[in-house]
Amino acid sequence: MLQLLKSLTETDGVSGDEGRVREFIKKEISPYVDKMITDSMGNLIAVKKGSAENPKKVMLDAHMDEVGLIITHICDDGMLKFGVIGIDQRVLLSKRVMIAGRVPGVLGIKAIHLQKRDERNRVVKADDMYIDIGARSKEEAEGLVSLGDYATFTTECEDIGSGRIKAKALDDRAGCAVLIEVLKDNYPDDLYVNFAVQEEAGLRGAGIAAYRINPDIGLALEGTTCSDVPGADEHMYSTVMGCGPAISIIDRSSYSSKDIVNGLIDAAEDAGIPYQMKRTMTGGNDAGMIQRTHEGVKTGVVSVPVRYIHSPAAIMDVTDFENTVSLIKEFLKKGACCK
């Protein structure tokens, strides 16, 4: 599992540029599925037939894309201006990036010695930054990069502390890895597993896939905010690292079906799998689009707690990931999700 997470997180795939991630997932899941479809948006839909006499249609979803940058302008001095895709601009300064998978760069700003007093005392905005690729001129830079190229962070996946990993893109390659592991087993109902595109750009891929699948229920797998850190009040902890997968009731995009929430809780308690309820109502995910497809779809959300999502480096407890895999398998094997 750890090698799978390493390979997934170190494969670049900003929203709108998920091709490399999709090809990797195709190779991983091909022995375990009956059919794979890549739709017009770039979603990868894997179909795995169930064993029940009258199987229901269950859609599982995790998004392939990650936050990052897109090149919008090449300056006369060879510096690159960029747009932000889903990332918190406060964490950008001085980070190392890779553009188009081949050109290294560093995010920079005017030196502090040249800044005015008011400039030193405010958060640096992305509009004031640039990417330095070492080019001496616009012509030299144009020989290396093009407008519309994507930039990703160069964070490697590695162990940190005891039983935890540090990586980029755990939102939502952790969810993708969960679904890959889930597909290795068999279930009573038909699974339509969607590896979605463009979630970070507005949940765009999942809605198209859900319309095509028209499922009986939908379940989104996410890497969600883990806010058990200094400066956060305990009652505002969204999730707590090491306490198991988080089951959502409501967020800004969706309201989970009580049947699915109760089914997930029953599956966890019957199997002795630790779990937690997501405590905050912030954020959103692909369940918001799946829920509103056709005449409406019963949906649920299960998330792996991840610290520092939407940043160049995030941290995840491996046991939370493993228990998420176990919970989804138990839930699907019961077949209770479609009763």
Return the pLDDT at 124: 77
Return the pLDDT at 236: 67
Q: Tell me the pairing of strands 150-153 and 96-99.
A: antiparallel
Domains of the chain are: 2-66+168-334 (3.40.630.10), 68-153 (2.40.30.40)
Tell me the CA end-to-end span of the chain in Å, nearest whole number: 32
Strands (E), the chain: 35-38, 44-48, 57-63, 68-74, 80-85, 96-99, 103-108, 130-132, 150-153, 158-160, 164-167, 190-196, 217-225, 246-247, 276-277, 298-307, 314-317
Cα 199 from Cα 85, distance rounded (Å): 11
Check if the beta carbon of residue 152 is closer than 8 Å to that of residue 167: no
Lookup result for tokens 């795995």: 48
Active site residue 199: yes
Q: What's the average pLDDT block by block, 10 residues per block, for the chain (339 residues)?
A: 92 96 98 97 97 94 96 97 90 93 90 54 80 97 97 95 96 97 97 96 93 96 84 74 94 89 96 94 88 94 94 95 98 75
Task: Indicate which residue of 66, 181, 199, 322 is catalytic.
Answer: 199
Return the pLDDT at 114: 47
Lookup result for tokens 């308690």: 269
User: How are the residues of the chain apportioned to helix, strand and coil, as percentages rounded to the nearest 5?
Assistant: 30, 25, 40
Q: 10 Å Cβ neighbour count for 45?
A: 20
Half-sphere exposure of 156 (CA within 13 A, CB side): 3
Cα 58 from Cα 18, distance rounded (Å): 24
List residues bridging with 185 in a β-sheet.
none
